[in-house]
Amino acid sequence: MASQHSPTGPMPHQQHYPPPVRPQPNGVMPMAAQPQPFTKPTAAHLAAVNEQTWLALGQLSEQMGELDGATQAYERAMNFNQWSVPAMLAISCILRSKDQFTAAVEYLRQIIKIEPGNGEVWSSLGHCYLMMDDLQQAYSAYQQALYHLPDPKEPKLWYGIGILYDRYGSLEHAEEAFSQVMRMEPSFEKANEIYFRLGIIYKQQQKFQQSLECFRYIVTDPPRPLSEEDIWFQIGHVHEQQKDYDSAKAAYTRVLERDPNHAKVLQQLGWLHHQQSTSFSSQEQAIEYLEKSVNSDQTDAQSWYLLGRCYMSQQKYPKAYEAYQQAVYRDGRNPTFWCSIGVLYYQINQYRDALDAYSRAIRLNPNISEVWYDLGTLYESCNNQTSDALDAYTRAAELDPANVHIKARLALLKGQPTNGLPNQAGAPLPQDVHPQAYQPGALGAPPGPQWGAHAQNPPPPGPAPGPLNVGSNWTGPRPQDAQNPQMPSQPMNPYDQRDRMPPHPQPPMQRQPSPPRQELPRFQEQPQRPAPPSHRGLSPSPKGPPQTLNPYQPGPPHQSHQPLPPHQMPQPPMPQEPSRGPYGIPPSSVPPQSAQMPG
């Protein structure tokens, strides 16, 4: 009897028993498929996936120009991995693009803790320190980068090293570093900036032809934010240094045709017209240019100072005093200003104020020969202090051995023959300083590796460090190096082979606080004086105690100078003084401790 199937039962093809086994062509029985076990993802795996996801989102935001969104994405990535090197590196790059170098340094230092041998990070850290004007830390970071980079021939690294040396005033090393960059990569992205910096360096080295070649090469495509007028200004200044005054004037005038209010060009044209050696000398024209410069940029102390020099040449002492006062108000630590102020006080017979001004100049820079010569003339004119004058002249001669006027004065005071030397008849007159002879920086030099990013500060006190080197002659660590690290003395060369001894970082030097603003003693307005006689009478000695002079009431123009009242007369020097500063500078006339040069 045939079997019956339930209508509700499964059909034969729906039965839950396995299908019949079909023989394989080769007679091999198939193996049963093993089911894959389900594994639950671990927390670490999920965190890594989330980190990579947020990193990808951050990169996408960067490509879209959404830097704030990118930063937030990278910070979310760090929520899943607080030591995420890609996230910290990306955030530091964004912060650097925003000139937030202090914050970028914090991220880079965290990366260094994780990867102390990452030369790229050391290089970025050096750049940040350079932009923060922390030159000691920048030097140490660049030194570490040179050691850890697999190939030290990195143009951006040597670009930063060149700027570091330039800031330190090591012009030869800076020139070599910039030249290395152009040899490594002639099409370097900042090539025009390097040519500009080389032009400045060559100008300071008095390699004027090479300087002109650099400036002329970039005059039609200057580095930002400089303009073509700025390059023509530099060309004019090089011609001025060459004493080619007509070419200098032509270059400056070319700038004024495009920018009539260019403060620096007006300043230089004013000084050109002030000098007697030019064919177009005119004090009135010089004052006109300098007044325009002051009106264009009232923060420039140099324009005020040059304006005072022009008034001094016209013997307009009150106006010169006002201009010098404005210059000192803006830059009270410029020794050139104080030397000229001393000359002004000497001319109006305020000898103690002159001594104080010379003392300030010496404290700010003891290596200006003109200041020591002027100090000698002051001692020689006041009570005939010959021994003090000899000391000052001797120091001036040490600083400027070729100066025939100093030699003649020394020979005259020592009773030696003065054959062939300038005539020394009559009392000596002080000599002023060339305005740019002792300037701390180059005229018009760029402030830093990124134009206009930060105000440039003077380099830290002390000598500049030695040249950075990749360590070609280091054979092993020395105990004395760990206590007193010294930099290699040979020139840097990125093509040398390196040993594997890590460099010793150089400890940073602490900076001294700036002194309070200097103030000029009160000016004593006096009537116009006749020409000085061939021989001065005895003058008040600067050795006496300083006294506060009352304002002078000018008399009629024809009235001669009246003697001071008895209570204002200077006291004669004591036969034996208990103590005296070097070269006869009395301690009572030395500026207060707070105004001294740091270090």
pLDDT in tens, 444-474: 444 333 333 334 455 555 555 555 554 333 2
The DSSP code for 541 is -
Q: CA–CA separation, 168 vs 335, rounded Å?
A: 20
Model confidence band, residue 40 (pLDDT cutoffs 50, 70, 90): low
Average pLDDT of the residues in 272-290: 87
How confident is the model at residue 440, as a pLDDT?
52
Can you list the alpha helix ranges (DSSP code H) found in 436-505? 479-483
Q: For 306-336, what is each residue's pLDDT tens digit?
A: 999 999 999 999 999 999 999 999 999 999 9
Least confident of 104-118, 218-232, 296-310, 556-570: 556-570
Least confident of 39-53, 232-246, 422-436: 422-436
**Residue 599 clears pLDDT 70, i.e. is over it:** no
Least confident of 142-146, 283-287, 330-334, 545-549: 545-549
Model confidence band, residue 73 (pLDDT cutoffs 50, 70, 90): confident
How confident is the model at residue 408, as a pLDDT?
87
How confident is the model at residue 43, as a pLDDT?
82
Task: Report which of 287, 318, 283 is spatially closest to residue 304, judged by C-alpha positions.
Answer: 287
- What six digits make up the tokens of 101? 């170098």
**Residue 5 clears pLDDT 80, i.e. is over it:** no
How confident is the model at residue 27, as a pLDDT?
54
How confident is the model at residue 59, as a pLDDT?
84
**Residue 424 clears pLDDT 80, i.e. is over it:** no
Specify the residue for token string 């007044």.
Answer: 291
Grouping H, G, I as helix, E, B as strand and the rest as coil, residue 362 is helix
Higher pLDDT, 502 or 434: 434
In angstroms, how far apart are the furthest CA atoms of the chain?
160
Q: CA–CA separation, 363 vs 595, rounded Å?
A: 9
The DSSP code for 511 is P
Half-sphere exposure of 141 (CA within 13 A, CB side): 26
**Residue 6 clears pLDDT 50, i.e. is over it:** no
Query: What residues contact 146, with CB distance under 8 A and at least 6 apart?
Result: 119, 152, 157, 468, 469, 470, 471, 494, 498, 503
Instruction: Tell me the average pLDDT of the chain.
Output: 74
Grouping H, G, I as helix, E, B as strand and the rest as coil, residue 445 is coil
How confident is the model at residue 515, as a pLDDT?
36
Model confidence band, residue 268 (pLDDT cutoffs 50, 70, 90): very high
Model confidence band, residue 426 (pLDDT cutoffs 50, 70, 90): low
Task: Report which of 336, 281, 337, 339 is spatially closest to residue 313, judged by C-alpha positions.
Answer: 281
Task: Report which of 376, 350, 339 is spatially closest to residue 585, judged by C-alpha positions.
Answer: 376
How confident is the model at residue 78, as a pLDDT?
86
Highest mean pLDDT out of 174-178, 276-280, 541-545:
174-178
Q: For 118-176, what is each residue's pLDDT tens digit?
A: 999 999 999 999 999 999 999 999 999 999 998 888 899 999 999 999 998 899 999 99
Average pLDDT of the residues in 492-501: 40
How confident is the model at residue 508, as a pLDDT?
37
Model confidence band, residue 534 (pLDDT cutoffs 50, 70, 90): very low
Phi/psi of residue 76, nearest 5 degrees: -65, -35
How confident is the model at residue 445, as a pLDDT?
46
Least confident of 237-246, 251-260, 533-542: 533-542
Burial of 70 (0-12, 13-18, 19+ CB in 10 A): buried
**Residue 249 clears pLDDT 70, i.e. is over it:** yes
Q: For 371-421, what is each residue's pLDDT tens digit?
A: 999 999 999 888 778 899 999 999 999 999 998 889 888 888 888 776 666
Q: CA–CA separation, 263 vs 257, rounded Å?
A: 13
**Residue 547 clears pLDDT 60, i.e. is over it:** no
* pLDDT cut 90: percent of the chain above it: 47
How confident is the model at residue 458, as a pLDDT?
52
**Residue 356 clears pLDDT 90, i.e. is over it:** yes
Answer yes or no: are the C-beta atoms of 168 and 465 closer than 8 Å.
Answer: yes
Give pTM, 2 decimals. 0.63
N-terminal to C-terminal alpha carbon distance within the chain: 123
- Radius of gyration of the chain from Cα atoms? 37
How confident is the model at residue 524, as a pLDDT?
53
- What six digits make up the tokens of 76? 């979310």
The DSSP code for 461 is S
**Residue 583 clears pLDDT 70, i.e. is over it:** no
- What six digits make up the tokens of 366? 């003891």
How confident is the model at residue 239, as a pLDDT?
95
Using CA atoms, how far residue 453 sits from 97, 123, 132, 134, 249, in Å, is: 11, 19, 10, 14, 31
> Which CATH superfamily, name and number, covers 46-152?
Tetratricopeptide repeat domain (1.25.40.10)
